[in-house]
């Protein structure tokens, strides 16, 4: 960090550049890495004028394009604040107009102890400051871009009131989200090679993941789902993108492009502040494509340095582990993950997407069996390809491989939690995995969404609602997350709020099945059969019901109309109209309960339990639709098999 070793004393202060510490009378002061580096430069050259260009070169180097004028001003302001200094009557840092800055105080330089006098702490600090052998890890490019955003969001936080949980308790995550958000727009793939879309998608995904993982404790990063959905709906112009980002609450936006021509690749990226559209940083990289890993690694390093220095942000944690060692393995991984990202809002994939994803991921692992992220993504393929019995077993084997290679993978712990919750019905084991994922990546939107299920099943419905709302802040354009706000209100027996939240989901994604179903069941539970019948009619029309069937529901009174809808739904599914060979048992159970037919509902639940299929099964303990069965010992025994009473 400094060209001179040892420590520097001035006034009541002591600066140790090697340890990156500034103390006053022995008390450690908080000063971020970039201002501390500027202070060290000024102190080393006390009495001399240090130009802004010299500061720029010392911090940013020559290859990175940043708004260094603003960055230097921010650093000097922070230095003066921590020293209790004033620009008008400086004791430490003097502004020399049109030239730069001069450090005024007398400085006493203390050289480091001799080798035989070194303390273990000093040795540790020296080792930590040594340059490390650079090993690129997929997604590192993302980390850098993220850093710059973080600083702006943290500044904005001071002027906003903290969000509160449903129970009235304010969480640290909510404070971060109120500080503002960072949006990484999908990197555009330029040129005629549309088959290269996985490159832009991969760079975007890695950037979001790494920024969230390394800075999620201090920054909200909008999830890939919403970033992708925003890209699909925008007109593609920068101003339109910024307008859309503002509507999502994003204070900063990262956008860029990837162009591949033969054995060369060009990656451009820029960081923009949304309120005044100021470009805080921009970079362009033209390199020979010896391997995707080499190019992405260099981009990652440069962007990371620029962002961290610009924003005064210190990174947390180590770079992501278990990188691919072969560029062909990494590109095959990107292609497989890209196919998985094509999942539709209803949970299905285009024909052939899952098979293609599996082929690409297996190819990556044939080349490099130690590439942990490929095992994580393969677990998702196996879960859907191998069926309800073998799928979870094979997915677990893949996740075990991934975690053996890299126990710091938040994605792997999240996937393991989902298997434990929905396949093993190991609710407490799922909690452990969810919490481990959040420990590793506090800004992981999907985990905030998923862990709400644990809270709700245990009757902690306020916490469930707060958690899924937190996920919605991070993933505001995801219909599944938005819909689950309604469902957790429903499980908490807050009918009107469940209906309202589900209607907002339908504004986001018209026709979204789970939002329609939540409205119908919440309205029935509230005794609002008019709303339930109206929702049933809408569902019938969207599914192309025969006019006579629609008229039968429309002409009946509300209660009879709702019953007619459910009977039509049963006939509709039995005909195979929605592509299923037979109705899933859990769907049959829902329909029979809605019709007030407990015996066939119980039989269907027993079948669902035997087949081990149905996301609703862990929720039977709290599901309002099944309240009429709670006194039945058969139902109680079934619930106890799935989710034993925590008491």
Predicted pLDDT at 413: 96
Strand partners, 255: 270
pLDDT at res. 128: 36
Residue 35 confidence (pLDDT)? 86
pLDDT category, 276, cuts 50, 70, 90?
confident
Q: What pLDDT score was predicted for residue 505?
A: 96
Q: Provide CB contacts within 8 A for 436, sequence distance 6+.
A: 410, 413
Region 14-30: what's the mean pLDDT? 86
What is the Cα–Cα distance from 585 to 567, expressed in whole angstroms? 16
**For residues 235-241, average pLDDT:** 58
Predicted local confidence at residue 265, as pLDDT: 79
Looking at residue 438, its pLDDT comes to: 93
Q: Are strands 13-16 and 250-261 parallel, antiparallel or unpaired?
A: unpaired
Structure tokens at 513: 């099945």
Q: In 430-581, where do the E strands start and end? A: none
Return the percentage of the chain with pLDDT > 70, whole number. Answer: 77
Q: How many CA atoms lie within 13 A of 540 on its CB side?
A: 27
Model confidence at 122, pLDDT cuts 50, 70, 90, reads: very low
Q: How many other C-beta atoms can be found within 10 angstroms of the C-beta atom of residue 357?
A: 26
**Mean local confidence (pLDDT), 14-27:** 87
298 vs 434, higher pLDDT: 434
Q: Which two tokens stand for residue 11?
A: 């006034």
Domains of the chain: 7-129 (1.10.10.10), 134-321 (3.40.50.10070)
Distance from chain centroid for Cα 60: 29
* pLDDT tier at 119, thresholds 50, 70, 90: very low
> Which one of 110-119, 137-146, 257-266, 467-476 scores highest in mean pLDDT?
467-476
State both tokens at 3.
């060209």
Burial 570-589 (b: 16+ CB within 10 A, else e): bebbeeeeeeeeebbbbbbb
**Whether pLDDT at 434 is above 70:** yes
């Amino acid at each position: 960090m400094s060209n001179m070793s040892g420590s520097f004393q001035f006034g009541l202060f002591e600066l140790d550049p090697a340890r990156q510490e500034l103390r006053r009378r022995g008390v450690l002061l908080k000063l971020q890495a970039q201002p501390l580096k500027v202070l060290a430069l000024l102190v080393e050259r006390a009495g001399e004028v240090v130009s802004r260009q010299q500061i720029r070169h010392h911090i940013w180097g020559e290859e990175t394009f940043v708004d260094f004028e603003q960055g230097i001003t921010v650093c000097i302001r922070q230095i003066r604040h921590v020293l209790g200094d004033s620009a008008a009557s400086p004791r430490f840092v003097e502004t020399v107009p049109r030239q730069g800055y001069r450090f005024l105080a007398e400085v006493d330089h203390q050289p480091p102890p001799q080798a035989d006098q070194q303390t273990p702490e000093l040795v540790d600090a020296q080792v930590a400051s040594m340059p490390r052998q650079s090993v690129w890890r997929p997604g590192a490019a993302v980390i850098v871009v993220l850093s710059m955003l973080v600083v702006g969001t943290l500044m904005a936080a001071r002027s906003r009131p903290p969000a509160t949980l449903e129970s009235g308790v304010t969480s640290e995550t909510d404070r971060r989200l109120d500080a503002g958000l960072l949006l990484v727009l999908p990197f555009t793939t330029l040129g005629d090679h549309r088959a290269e879309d996985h490159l832009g998608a991969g760079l975007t995904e890695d950037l979001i993941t790494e920024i969230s993982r390394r800075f999620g404790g201090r920054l909200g990063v909008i999830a890939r789902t919403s970033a992708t959905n925003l890209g699909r709906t925008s007109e593609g112009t920068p101003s339109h993108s910024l307008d859309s980002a503002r509507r999502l609450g994003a204070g900063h936006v990262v956008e860029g492009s990837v162009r591949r021509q033969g054995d060369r690749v060009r990656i451009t990226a820029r960081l923009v502040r949304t309120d005044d559209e100021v470009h805080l940083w921009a970079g362009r990289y033209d390199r020979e494509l010896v391997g995707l890993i080499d190019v992405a690694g260099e981009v990652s390093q440069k962007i990371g340095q620029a962002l961290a220095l610009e924003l005064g942000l210190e990174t947390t944690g180590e770079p992501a582990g278990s990188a691919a060692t072969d560029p062909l393995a990494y590109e095959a991984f990107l292609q497989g993950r890209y196919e998985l990202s094509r999942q539709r809002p209803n949970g299905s994939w285009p024909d052939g997407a899952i098979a293609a994803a599996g082929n690409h991921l297996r190819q990556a692992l044939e080349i490099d069996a130690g590439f942990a992220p490929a095992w994580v993504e393969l677990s998702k393929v196996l879960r859907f390809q191998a069926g309800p019995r073998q799928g979870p077993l094979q997915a677990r084997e893949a996740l075990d491989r991934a975690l053996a290679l890299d126990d710091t993978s938040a994605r792997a712990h999240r996937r393991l939690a989902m298997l434990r919750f929905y396949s093993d019905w190991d609710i407490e084991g799922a909690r452990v995995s969810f919490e481990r994922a959040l420990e590793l990546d506090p800004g992981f939107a999907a985990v905030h969404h998923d862990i709400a299920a644990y809270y709700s099943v245990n009757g902690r419905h306020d916490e469930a609602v707060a958690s899924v709302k937190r996920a919605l802040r991070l993933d505001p354009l995801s219909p599944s997350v938005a819909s689950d706000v309604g469902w957790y209100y429903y499980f908490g027996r807050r009918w009107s709020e469940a209906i309202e939240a589900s209607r907002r989901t339908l504004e986001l994604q018209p026709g979204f099945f789970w939002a329609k179903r939540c409205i119908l069941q919440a309205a029935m539970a509230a005794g609002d059969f008019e709303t339930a019948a109206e929702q049933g009619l809408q569902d019938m029309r969207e599914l192309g019901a025969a006019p006579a069937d629609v008229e039968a529901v429309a002409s009946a009174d509300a209660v009879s109309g709702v019953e007619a809808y459910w009977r039509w739904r049963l006939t509709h599914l039995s005909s195979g109209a929605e592509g299923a060979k037979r109705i899933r048992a859990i769907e049959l159970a829902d329909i029979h309960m809605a019709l007030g037919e407990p015996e066939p509902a119980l039989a269907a639940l027993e079948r669902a339990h035997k087949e081990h299929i149905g996301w609703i099964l862990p929720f039977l303990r709290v599901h309002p639709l099944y309240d009429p069965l709670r006194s039945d010992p058969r139902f109680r025994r079934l619930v106890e098999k799935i989710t034993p009473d925590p008491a």
